[in-house]
Chains A and B, each alone.
Chain A
Amino acid sequence: MSSALQRLSRSTIASAALLAVVWALATAYMQTGGSSRALLIGEMLSNFILVLGMQVFIGNTGVLSFGHMAFAQIAAYVTAIVAIPVAAKAKSLPDIPFGLGDVHLGPFGATIVAVLVTVLIGALFGVAVCRAGGLAPTMITLAALFIVEQVVKNWQELTRGAGGLTGIPIVQGNGWLWLGAFVALVVAHQFQETRIGRFAVATREDELAAPALGIRLFTSRYAAWVLSMAFIALGSSLRTQSLGNVNPKQFTLDAGILILVMLVVGGMRTVSGAVLGTVLITVGNELFRQLGDPQRWDIERFPDLFLGGVMLLVMVLRPGGILGDLDVAGWLRRRMYRRKEPTQVEPVAGDRTLSAEGIIVRFGGFTALDGAGLQVRPGEVVGLIGPNGAGKTTLFNVITGLVPETDGRVSLGDLELSDATPVQVARAGLARTFQNLRLFKNLSVRDNVALTSLVAARHRAHRVRPDVDQLLEAAGLLDFADRPADTLDYGNQRRLELARAVALAPEFLLLDEPTSGMSDAESQAMVQSVREMAATVGAGVLVIDHDLGFITRISDHIVVLAEGQVLAEGTPAEVRANPAVAAAYLGSQA
């Protein structure tokens, strides 16, 4: 496919551009002095690969990890053990188990083995990390750090404990590191272009909206984790072979924090940010190291002062990092973007009916839904209304799998959805919006829609799928396509959320208060928007709104909910004329 080639060339160009700048800086720096400078550049380049490794996971998924250094340590020790010549090993590690004493690999072989072993161990651990939510993943990575540290320090036969290993054949020059950095850059860029990488980013932006649009948290996070393990192993293995020794002090939490600061200061969300951060922190660290005056102060430990100060400043002033969401690759992507030829495809309405029957939901002693139910036929627009606290959103949450029902049944045609997860519901063809807007805020308007379009391409291929730009045009958002979603005004954010849901090519759209916060003129326009956009994919609509005017104009059929039960239903005219409905809204005098 040409677009895959395009993506690869884009990643390559962006990587080459970034690395060229770094290379120019490094060359200029080399002109000013001796060979110790090459060491510093070597250190920066290996940090570079480690930072990109963290970016791939932390930057894309937003899950903080302290444990990456644990896997760097594994890679470093594997490298050392297979690379140290047999004779030297017989001396330093006489009791080495598993017959490793007879193994001796060259630099290339050692690196490959280190990456393979680390990725294998990391992949096992990653299952635990990526399964949990909240702070647990971070704690699990912290535990990994302790586990590896203890094993390395105490498995004397294999590691010589705290003293570490020396005599690793040194690979001269920084050539391999430059190559490694380039490969890492291209892959990190490329990951953000792949489907799974973009899904990971979606989960970072909103842990709830992503599954509701058919994006599985675990899969994308796990992919990012495993890839990041490979980076970490590569960077660590190369570093070990340029230093010639390895010991546990190189992999403490502090060492990990240094790498983390590099990532966060530049801007963890983009590869360009990671590059900028690495260069800035490496340079600043070195400057502050030289600032120390051993005569006057007890030690040259100014780097900590620099690190702490920079991190504090960035967190207070620019928590997203210096670059935020700016990056070379993104700029290229926008520059190279060509709109596809618009195609006209006749939408086909689905043939399944969405139905919820006898839904009961209890939270503790509180009954939120008490036997409510409804049906939406293919292509039909059903309005769901009722006073505050009637259970409308709860019913939505039950249908979309966010809230488990105590009793009752949800189905789409023959398909049972009662116990389905949000991801399964979305992939089955129900797309929803949220009452308080859950856009992928830091992503561009186009990316918001394109993400669901990617899900549709994979899981909704049997349906007519709308073109992203046509959708944006229909929503009146094409002019803002490259802006971050959270810079739109409120009405446009609502329309964007609608377009994003439509891009899933759903059989039913579930809209939770699409006009809340809009003026009357805007909500009138929304009637048209919703109807048109639903029609482009042949979807039925279930819509909650507090604005009876909007609901009457848009709906074919209205269901009135009160106190968790269906109070009335019928055509808009019937419902308007029903005195019970007015009473439910305005209350009675009693």
Chain B
Amino acid sequence: MLEVDQLTTRYGAITALHGVSLRVNAGEVVALVGPNGAGKTTLLNTVAGLLRPAEGAVRFNGADITGTEPATLVRRGLALVPEHRRIFKDLTVEENLRLGGATLSASQRRHKVHEMADVFPVLRAKWSTSAGFLSGGEAQQLAVARALMCDPKLLLLDEPTLGLAPTMVDVVFDLIARLRTKGLTMLVVEQNATRALHMADRGYVLRTGHVVADGAGAELAADSRLFESFIGGSAEESGAS
């Protein structure tokens, strides 16, 4: 469904991604893990069209989407739940959801908003509250619900459990599991690497802008390269991706 081919992205003088390649097949949940600053968020933002890559290509359902506007990608069924959630704090919960359905027709949007209210009872309780008043867990659910409004085929999740209390982390992992049973394809960036890899079908380990390991989720969780990627391996090891 998603193919990332030799992607290189720069911010000014910083090269955050050095020719990263990965793929996500339809129906899969793929985890992307690695230490802070490895380029995970950059990768997702580039795929979602927020950043333009310097080199390389991104294909979605066979079509080249390199450097396409996010608005177009959302219409084609690719949605990103960004790092730090970035819900609109000044808007109410309902308005956040409506904006999530920006690409839908008015009647579809109304229908979808009601559907989300059923799927996320927590949000229904806070319907007309400014999203800035939500707790971390509620805000994360809103961020996911907002992205689901446009009926995506592929959902990119960036650090969905960041800053959440442990019980809320469970809620979010349950949510991901539920979405998976509905057949949604997901690429998840997660700091809780072990848990994310155990849940995922496959995983990639990113370090300093390179893929240093990949494989089936559970195997990768046990791979020594995973811990090494966090503690910093030698230059040769991570250079050879």
Interface contact B13-A520, CB-CB below 8 Å = no
Q: Which chain B residue lies CB-closest to A583? A: B194
B159 contacts across to A, CB distance below 8 A: 388
* Contact A548 B231, CB 8 Å, known A388-B36, A517-B14: yes
Q: Mark A504-524, 1 if CB is under 8 A from B, else 0.
A: 000000000100111111011
Q: Mark B138-176, 1 if CB is under 8 A from A, else 0.
A: 000000000000000000000100110000000000000
Of B35, B136, B198, the most chain A CB neighbours within 10 A belong to: B35
Stretch at the interface among A115-123, A169-177, A485-493: A485-493
Interface contact B194-A586, CB-CB below 8 Å = yes
Interface contact A517-B162, CB-CB below 8 Å = no
Interface contact A489-B13, CB-CB below 8 Å = yes
- Within the complex, the shortest CB–CB distance from A572 to chain B, in Å, comes to 10
CA distance A576 to B226 in the complex (A): 15
- Within the complex, the shortest CB–CB distance from A576 to chain B, in Å, comes to 7
Tell me whether A552 is interfacial, beta carbon within 8 Å.
Answer: yes
**Which residue of the partner chain, among B36, B135, B195, B221, contacts A590 with CB atoms under 8 Å?**
B195
- Within the complex, the shortest CB–CB distance from A394 to chain B, in Å, comes to 12
For this complex, 23 residue pairs linking A to B, each with C-beta atoms less than 8 Å apart, are A365-B135, A366-B136, A388-B36, A388-B162, A389-B162, A486-B12, A489-B13, A490-B12, A516-B36, A517-B37, A520-B208, A520-B232, A520-B238, A548-B232, A549-B231, A549-B233, A582-B227, A585-B35, A586-B192, A586-B193, A587-B191, A588-B192, A589-B195
- Within the complex, the shortest CB–CB distance from A512 to chain B, in Å, comes to 12
B-side interface size class: 20 to 34
Total A-B residue pairs with C-beta atoms closer than 8 Å? Answer: 84
**Which residue of the partner chain, among B37, B163, B196, B227, contacts A516 with CB atoms under 8 Å?**
B37
Interface contact B208-A586, CB-CB below 8 Å = no
Interface residues of A (CB under 8 A from B): 365-366, 387-389, 486, 488-490, 493, 513, 516-521, 523-524, 546-550, 552, 576, 582, 585-590
**Which residue of the partner chain, among A388, A490, A521, contacts B13 with CB atoms under 8 Å?**
A490
- Within the complex, the shortest CB–CB distance from B119 to chain A, in Å, comes to 25
Of B36, B190, B191, B198, the most chain A CB neighbours within 10 A belong to: B36
Interface contact A588-B195, CB-CB below 8 Å = yes
A588 contacts across to B, CB distance below 8 A: 192, 194-195
A365 contacts across to B, CB distance below 8 A: 135
Interface contact A488-B13, CB-CB below 8 Å = yes
Q: Which chain B residue lies CB-closest to A368? A: B163
- Within the complex, the shortest CB–CB distance from B184 to chain A, in Å, comes to 22
* Contact A587 B196, CB 8 Å, known A387-B191, A546-B35: yes
* Contact A589 B194, CB 8 Å, known A489-B13, A548-B232: yes
Interface contact B227-A513, CB-CB below 8 Å = no
Q: Mark B199-240, 1 if CB is under 8 A from A, else 0.
A: 000000000100000000000010000110011111100110
Interface contact B235-A493, CB-CB below 8 Å = no
* Contact A523 B232, CB 8 Å, known A389-B162, A489-B13, A490-B14: yes
CA distance A546 to B208 in the complex (A): 11
Tell me whether B113 is interfacial, beta carbon within 8 Å.
Answer: no
Q: Which chain B residue lies CB-closest to A521? A: B235
CA distance A154 to B194 in the complex (A): 77
Mark out the residues of chain B between 106 and 135 whose CB falls within 8 Å of any chain A CB in the assembled complex. 135
CA distance A583 to B221 in the complex (A): 12
